[in-house]
Amino acid sequence: MNIIAFGASTRKESINQQFAEHVAKLFQGAEVATLLLSDYECAIYSEDRETEGIPSVVIDFMEKLKRADLVVLSLAEHNGSYTAAFKNLLDWCSRYQQKTFENIRFFLLSTSPGPRGGMGVMTAALERFPRHQAEILDHFSLPNFQQKFHPDKGITNEVLCLSLHEKIQQIQQSLTA
Ligand SMILES: Cc1cc2nc3c(=O)[nH]c(=O)nc-3n(C[C@H](O)[C@H](O)[C@H](O)COP(=O)(O)O)c2cc1C
């Protein structure tokens, strides 16, 4: 099983990047490829700019997603929604391919230092991604990242840890069925 781990933040120490990589590695027997949003930054989308062509990084990004069995995407929340860099990439992707996420399966995650765990951005993505034909296999938000996540041990809250593992098991079963 080929899994892409991707955090929707360009911050070098992104907690969402860390979380996406951690979760992707919990899938048994998976080959995990890590993508960094900072490698896919491009000029702010405009219809005028589009006449000059789609940036090659956008095409590269989309083609990598299409080849994966699962994309573990952890969304960082800025002012209740996507980071500007991710929203920009999404805008470009939606112009590269009309049915943007057709046949692409996602496990959507979010985390933040606060108690809502990125609920705002998760709500936005759960509403929006299916309109781009994304198949969302499940979703999970981790609040209070700094208190509830340890780099070696993973999620330290028992209830949340169990919930995540159950979701992973169900996704793993559905992908190998
Ligand atoms: C411009 C900006 C806006 C933010 N807005 C929110 C917010 O609406 N909700 C929230 O929970 N955290 C918010 N935060 C805090 C982020 O959740 C925090 O910086 C987190 O580390 C971002 O994820 P990352 O480390 O993956 O980049 C904001 C941070 C910045 C810099």
Instruction: Per residue of the chain (177 residues), give pLDDT as tens.
Output: 999 999 999 999 999 999 999 999 999 999 999 999 999 999 999 999 999 999 999 999 999 999 999 999 999 999 999 999 999 999 999 999 999 999 999 999 999 999 999 999 999 999 999 999 999 999 999 999 999 999 999 999 999 999 999 999 999 999 988
Domain of residue 57 covers: 2-176
User: Can you tell me the distance from the alpha carbon of 118 to that of 108, in angstroms, rounded to the nearest whole number?
Assistant: 11
Q: Which atom of ligand 1 is nearest to the CA of 17?
A: 26
- Among all chains, which residue has been given the structure tokens 């929604």? 81
Reduced to 3 states, what is the DSSP secondary structure of residue 2? strand
| Residue 79 beta carbon below 6 angstroms from any ligand 1 atom | yes
Phi, psi of 144 (to 5 degrees): 45, 55
- By alpha-carbon position, which residue is closest to atom 30 of ligand 1? 78
pTM: 0.98
Q: Which atom of ligand 1 is nearest to the CA of 117?
A: 11
154's tokens? 């993973």
CATH of the domain at 78: 3.40.50.360
User: Can you tell me the distance from the alpha carbon of 150 to that of 147, in angstroms, rounded to the nearest whole number?
Assistant: 8
Question: Which pLDDT score, from 0 to 100, does residue 96 have?
Answer: 97
Phi, psi of 25 (to 5 degrees): -75, -10
112's tokens? 């933040």
Q: How is residue 144 annotated by DSSP?
A: S
Phi, psi of 171 (to 5 degrees): -65, -45
The total domain count for the chain is 1
For the chain, the first-to-last Cα distance in angstroms comes to: 12
Q: Which atom of ligand 1 is nearest to the CA of 16?
A: 26
Question: Which pLDDT score, from 0 to 100, does residue 177 have?
Answer: 81
Strand pairing class (70-75; 105-111): parallel
